[in-house]
Structure 1
Amino acid sequence: MTAEPIPSITLPPIKDPATEGKWLKQALHRWMDQEFIPEPINETIAQRASQIFVRQRLEGENDLGSLVIAIVTEMQAFDFRESFYSEFAIANAMSDLILDSLGIERCCGQG
């Protein structure tokens, strides 16, 4: 049995950066509040992650894997001490939210 590489996922080019950023910020904030307990820092984290995402998209990055890496890399400078989360949890949640919004199955198991 050979392991197959996970195919890359390319997002359509960004059409409305403000709407896309607002959606991601709200979805990520809602996810964080539901996953653990609502904390004031969640809004700040969601805002920062959505800013990074939109900036990367405006710079022409449409590969979801590259966007996840960009979130992880840039969020490393963020102080997560007041949060249950890390840059990895935020990047993975962002990816899952985007896949869900596109109707793409995110389970890696093949039937």
Structure 2
Amino acid sequence: MTEPVEPIVLPPAENPEQEGQWLKATLHEWLNTEFPPEAVNADIAERASQVFVRQRMEGENDLGSLVLAVLTEMQAFDFSKSFYGEFAIANAVSDLLLDSLGIDHCCGAG
């Protein structure tokens, strides 16, 4: 029988604003690396980091819940001038956070 996947929980936020600045800069860099840089990438990174910071300030530490919050709130963002969409952004946030925790996210490896 397959064992359920344990949730990934971030340490409690000590400085959510600093975490948000890191996410904003790291996501913006990732966006500009994956496809040719676009001016809208700064706005995407800003919005995703705002959602993340708010969730962390409200005490959310579960990675899955954080990613779903980013996905849900990015659905209202206008991606018409971007290569990306809300799912790509939520997945990127997840990957970046996993990287920061030292957790391999490639190919289902743990």
TM-score bracket relative to the smaller structure? over 0.9
TM-superposition CA deviations, 1:27-79 (whole Å, max 9, x none): 00000000001000000000000000010010011000001110010110111
> How many residues are aligned here?
109
The 3-state SS of whatever aligns with 1:89 is: helix
The amino acid of 1:15's aligned partner reads E
Distance 1:18 1:46 in 2: 14
Partner of 1:75: 74
- Map 1:2-13; keep pairs closer than 5 Å: 2-13=1-12
Distance 2:19 2:65 in 1: 17
Q: Could you state the TM-score of these two structures normalised by the residue count of structure 2?
A: 0.94
Q: Could you state the TM-score of these two structures normalised by the residue count of structure 1?
A: 0.93
- Map 1:88-103; keep pairs closer than 5 Å: 88-103=87-102
The answer for unaligned runs of 5 or more in structure 2 is none
Distance 2:11 2:49 in 1: 17
Partner of 2:30: 31
Among all aligned residue pairs of Structure 1 and Structure 2, give the percentage whose two residues are the same amino acid. Answer: 64
